[in-house]
Amino acid sequence: MMEEIQSKQERSRKFETEVIHSGYDALKHFGSLAPPIFQTSTFVFPDAQSGERRFAGEEEGYIYSRLQNPTVEMLEQRIAALEKAEKGLAFGSGMAAVSAVLMGMVKTGDHILCSEGVYGCTFGLLHFMQERFGVSHSFQSMDGEEQIRAAIRPETALIYVESPINPTMKLVDLKLVAEIAKEFGIPVVVDNTFSSPYLQRPLELGCDVVIHSATKYLCGHGDVIGGLAAGSKELMSHLSMTTQKDIGGVMSPFDAWLLLRGMKTLPVRMDRHCSNAAELAKQLRKHPRISKVLFPGDPEFAQYTLASRQMDGPGGLISFEICGTKEDAQRFMNALELIKIAVSLGDAETLIQHPATMTHAVVPPEDRAAMGISETLLRLSVGLEAWQDIWADIEQALNT
């Protein structure tokens, strides 16, 4: 129920300012600099008629926290401001956001055209939707205009894209996909988790919906599981009244508060993630025991030009292959001291994982090979430590 009309000054504010101020007005909350946590399940109506009017949508006012909660709403307004969307929605996890968006936008008989790779649980959900609800999908590398056009079927109702794609860091040209999709009248949904809105804003490139696992860079501190979606008011309101409210994977007020807090430092953190990753990619490239480095900020990266055009920075993820076997890769991981072995990404701590046996273990080996995920490929989520210390750890582990 908060003011949706922004002043002209607010509309032209820069990202670094929006990420701190948007969605919250302290003077409307007793002057509290930090936003209050409305830790309540339900809201009291002043009288029976008011309750009737709120349910009928004739009166502004909160009803029940699964439908709307002031702290959660502050976060929804903030992500909308950052992604340049009309409206944002918050969910209990990234997957709750993905499933609410997908289920709310397609029906039985429809086809979803996906980028070459998608997050593992999204892959699982797509299979589930195919088996149980008759919604088909296909994966397609979207390297050129012809390829994208040829992959669109009469029943294609949605294009679902990740860029960069985990863990090979392959990019999809979002502007190109959006332009072609527009001709066919098909909405484009982008999982923007890897870049965060600080580095990539798909709606500005013509895409329709953005999804985030807020668990990652938006939170930044490894202490929340959460999801966000943003898009047009019409579509987000539809999702809010259907799959968000009725499936009910909503975010708790406390998690929304932690995210509002974490997101204030997103630009500063992201700058460090990017510069640390750029230094480490350079060092990795020079090391004789590293056979391949995949990093969008590396001038030798196959899609370096697209990365420079589409993203405002390379991000903090690097994948690399070490010489040898799977066992050598595991020995290397076990020799690390500072760097933690864990999935997830975007935290202050540098994390490393082995896609072939962890995040992509469920992908059949042939498919994994076709996607470029070898047994010696490792994915590093570069943290905020001094890059020299991260490199020293990698170097000592490579030498053991």
Residue (119 or 320) nearer to ligand PLP, CB: 119
CB of 315 to ligand PLP, least distance (A): 12
Give strand pairing partners of 353.
Answer: 379
Please pick, among 13, 53, 66, 285, the residue that the annotation labels catalytic. 66
Residue (110 or 162) nearer to ligand PLP, CB: 162
Residue (351 or 398) nearer to ligand PLP, CB: 351
Catalytic residue at 216?
Answer: yes
Element holding 230 (H helix, E strand): strand 227-231
Residues 95-134 that bind ligand PLP (CB under 6 A): 95, 119, 121
Give CA–CA dist 78/5, Å, rounded.
Answer: 13
Catalytic residue at 191?
Answer: yes
Q: Does 191 participate in binding ligand PLP (rule CB under 6 A)?
A: yes
Q: Does 244 participate in binding ligand PLP (rule CB under 6 A)?
A: no
Please pick, among 110, 173, 191, 347, the residue that the annotation labels catalytic. 191
Neighbour tally for 225: CB within 10 Å: 17
Task: Provide the token pair at 377.
Answer: 């490929």
Cα 52 to Cα 41, 43, 47, 56, 59, distances in angstroms = 19, 13, 9, 6, 9
CA-wise closest residue to 193 among 223, 226, 168, 221: 226
Read off the DSSP letter of residue 36. Answer: P
Match 């990753």 to its residue by tokens: 277
Residue type, 25: D
Stretch that binds ligand PLP, among 144-152, 187-195, 350-358, 362-370 (CB under 6 A): 187-195
Q: What is the CA radius of gyration of the chain?
A: 22
Q: Does 193 participate in binding ligand PLP (rule CB under 6 A)?
A: yes
- Where helices occur in 266-386 by DSSP H, the ranges are 266-286, 304-310, 326-335, 365-370
Residue (283 or 344) nearer to ligand PLP, CB: 344
- Sequence-ordered list of residues with C-beta below 8 angstroms from that of 127, at least 6 positions apart, any chain: none
Residue type, 124: G
Q: Are strands 227-231 and 209-213 parallel, antiparallel or unpaired?
A: antiparallel
Give CA–CA dist 169/321, Å, rounded.
Answer: 13
Task: Provide the token pair at 216.
Answer: 């990652």
Residues 4-63 that bind ligand PLP (CB under 6 A): none
Please pick, among 24, 62, 119, 217, the residue that the annotation labels catalytic. 119
Of residues 93, 156, 163, 243, which one binds ligand PLP by CB under 6 A?
93
Q: Does 216 participate in binding ligand PLP (rule CB under 6 A)?
A: yes
Count residues near ligand PLP (CB under 6 A): 15
CB of 356 to ligand PLP, least distance (A): 17
CB of 235 to ligand PLP, least distance (A): 19
CA-wise closest residue to 373 among 137, 140, 170, 78: 170
Residue (203 or 398) nearer to ligand PLP, CB: 203
Residue (215 or 240) nearer to ligand PLP, CB: 215
Stretch that binds ligand PLP, among 48-56, 208-216, 287-295, 374-382 (CB under 6 A): 208-216
Please pick, among 54, 78, 201, 216, the residue that the annotation labels catalytic. 216
Catalytic residue at 11?
Answer: no
Q: Does 227 participate in binding ligand PLP (rule CB under 6 A)?
A: yes
Q: What is the number of the residue whose Cβ is closest to ligand PLP? A: 94
Stretch that binds ligand PLP, among 73-81, 174-182, 212-220, 367-375 (CB under 6 A): 212-220
Give CA–CA dist 22/7, Å, rounded.
Answer: 12
Q: Does 94 participate in binding ligand PLP (rule CB under 6 A)?
A: yes
Residue type, 162: E
Give CA–CA dist 347/81, Å, rounded.
Answer: 23
* Active-site amino acid positions: 66, 119, 191, 216
Per CB under 6 A, residues contacting ligand PLP are 93-95, 119, 121, 162, 166, 191, 193-194, 213, 215-216, 225, 227
